């Protein structure tokens, strides 16, 4: 008989967690597992990319604002958000979740997997599933999304059987902040074959250059530190070309910053690209200036597209970049970025050699799937 698994996520907006979740769902053996995905607030571009064979369940109206910040809510959404927050401050939140669960879930699950730490953890903790898992993707020592609900989160985590952190840094932070002991590290799965295939697609708007071609792909969000990159680029602009793929809430601020620094017209702003990989592959160096991460999969995607990386140190990065030709890790400091770019400005040949070596890069999905399968079947006894 197939084991029944329920994955729980709050939304499917384009971003790390939803993409990682879809990749995991693509790799689950549906001959052995019956898989449901509950999306509490069903919206986002990646809803359309949920793999075939996965039964998708929508949350009730109670969860409509679960992923929306209070300051962004208007009208009825504001009232719904305030109601949700009041429940989270009350002793009745678990009973209310159990009531909502009864409206949408019609079976008992062998395994329940909170795909995003936070409210999904609380939702899973309120279940009667046999094995409750919590996926942790953020370095909580740098940014604690649960800071206003610590008592509730600790109560929920006491009901979770096992936390799965995406990196050693994330594991250590989560253990320290919440005092959890049942936690292990399993790296995120990657769709290596798809990324390499997409990276080989031809696109018409890539032009060769004698300068070193830098590229960054990120949401225009404070976390991603694109302001750091733009300021650093303004100091080395004569030696490099810079392409930025992405969009987001800070678009206007970043554009104004680039204009003030006189580099707006020098930067290639490509917006959101459904397939960014050919642009990464055509570049000499991928640059990531995130202020914090958990296990930044964009770095792995760059390596699969045969492009070495220059990255600021965040959680998980040392587990990804193990050889010098894969990437250079610098302290999370703007001056260090400028210093390293100045050191590399005449080393295009070295970067091209790194790209050649990356043609044999391979990611260990097989080991990750074995670790997850062992957990699903009660074989992990090391935590």
Structure confidence by residue, pLDDT tens digits, 309-365: 999 999 999 999 999 999 999 999 999 999 999 999 999 999 999 999 999 999 999
Cα separation of 253 and 383, whole Å? 45
274 assigned to some structural domain:
yes
Predicted confidence at residue 216, as pLDDT, reads 98
Where helices occur in 218-275 by DSSP H, the ranges are 226-236, 251-260
Q: Are residues 171 and 46 in the same domain?
A: yes
Q: Are residues 207 and 184 in the same domain?
A: no
Three-state DSSP class for 284? coil
Q: Are residues 79 and 198 in the same domain?
A: no
282 assigned to some structural domain:
yes
Q: Are residues 244 and 323 in the same domain?
A: yes
Put simply, whether the predicted model's pTM sits higher than 0.85 gets the answer yes
Q: Are residues 224 and 154 in the same domain?
A: no
Q: Are residues 138 and 36 in the same domain?
A: yes
Pair 230, 257: CB distance under 8 Å: yes
Predicted confidence at residue 205, as pLDDT, reads 85
pLDDT by residue, tens only, the chain of 383 residues? 899 999 999 999 877 789 899 999 999 999 999 999 999 999 998 999 999 999 999 999 999 999 999 998 999 999 999 999 999 999 999 999 999 999 999 999 999 999 999 999 999 999 999 999 999 999 999 989 899 999 999 999 999 999 999 999 999 999 999 999 999 999 999 999 999 999 999 988 888 888 999 999 999 999 999 999 999 999 999 999 999 999 999 999 999 999 999 999 999 999 999 899 999 999 999 999 999 999 999 999 999 999 999 999 999 999 999 999 999 999 999 999 999 999 999 999 999 999 999 999 999 999 999 999 999 998 544 45
Predicted confidence at residue 309, as pLDDT, reads 98
Pair 136, 293: CB distance under 8 Å: no
Cα separation of 135 and 244, whole Å? 30
228 assigned to some structural domain:
yes
Three-state DSSP class for 210? coil
| Residue numbers of the domain that contains 137 | 3-189+365-376
Q: Are residues 174 and 198 in the same domain?
A: no
Query: 């140190």: which residue's tokens?
Result: 313
Q: Are residues 227 and 174 in the same domain?
A: no
Tell me, rounded to whole angstroms, the distance of Cα 258 from its chain centroid: 26
Structure confidence by residue, pLDDT tens digits, 129-176: 999 999 999 999 998 989 999 999 999 999 999 999 999 999 999 999
For 26-87, give the DSSP string.
HHS-TTTEEEEEEESS--SGGGGGSPTTPEEEEPPGGGTTTTS-GGG--HHHHHHHHHHHHH
382 assigned to some structural domain:
no
Three-state DSSP class for 167? coil
Q: Are residues 165 and 200 in the same domain?
A: no
Output the domain CATH number for residue 253: 3.40.50.2000
Nearest to 137 by CA among 238, 18, 232: 18
Predicted confidence at residue 381, as pLDDT, reads 43
Residue 57: beta bridge partners? Answer: 38
Overall domain count for the chain: 2
């Amino acid at each position: 008989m197939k084991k029944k698994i329920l994955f729980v996520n709050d939304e499917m907006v384009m971003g790390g967690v939803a993409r990682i979740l879809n990749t995991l769902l693509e790799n689950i053996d549906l001959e052995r597992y019956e898989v449901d995905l509950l999306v509490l607030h069903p919206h986002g571009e990646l809803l359309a990319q949920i793999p075939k064979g996965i039964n998708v369940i929508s949350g009730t109206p109670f969860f409509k604002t679960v992923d929306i910040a209070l300051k962004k809510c208007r009208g009825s959404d504001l009232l719904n958000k305030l109601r949700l927050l009041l429940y989270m401050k009350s002793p009745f939140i678990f009973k209310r979740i159990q009531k909502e669960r009864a409206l949408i879930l019609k079976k008992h699950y062998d395994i329940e997997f909170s795909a995003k730490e936070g409210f999904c953890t609380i939702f899973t903790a309120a279940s009667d599933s046999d094995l409750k898992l919590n996926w942790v993707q953020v370095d909580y020592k740098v940014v604690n999304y649960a800071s206003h609900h610590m008592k509730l989160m600790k109560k929920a985590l006491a009901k979770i059987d096992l936390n799965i952190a995406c990196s050693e840094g994330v594991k250590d932070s989560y253990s320290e902040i919440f005092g959890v002991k049942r936690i292990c590290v399993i790296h995120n799965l990657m769709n290596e074959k798809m990324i390499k295939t997409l990276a080989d697609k031809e696109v018409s708007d890539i032009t060769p250059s004698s300068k070193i071609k830098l590229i960054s792909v990120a949401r225009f969000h404070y976390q991603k530190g694109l302001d750091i990159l733009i300021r650093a680029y303004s100091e080395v602009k004569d030696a490099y070309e810079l392409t930025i793929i992405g969009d987001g809430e800070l678009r206007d601020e970043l554009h104004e910053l680039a204009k003030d620094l006189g580099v707006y017209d020098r930067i290639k702003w490509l917006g959101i690209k459904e397939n960014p990989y050919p642009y990464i592959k055509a570049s000499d160096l991928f640059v990531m200036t995130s202020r914090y991460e958990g296990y930044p999969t964009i770095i792995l995607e760059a390596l699969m597209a045969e492009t070495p990386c220059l990255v600021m140190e965040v959680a998980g990065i040392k587990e990804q970049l193990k050889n010098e030709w894969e990437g250079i890790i610098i302290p999370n400091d703007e001056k260090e970025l400028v210093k390293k770019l100045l050191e590399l400005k005449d080393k295009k040949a070295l970067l091209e050699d790194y790209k050649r070596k990356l043609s044999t890069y391979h990611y260990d999905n097989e080991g990750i799937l074995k670790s997850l399968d062992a957990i699903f079947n009660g074989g992990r006894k090391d935590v």
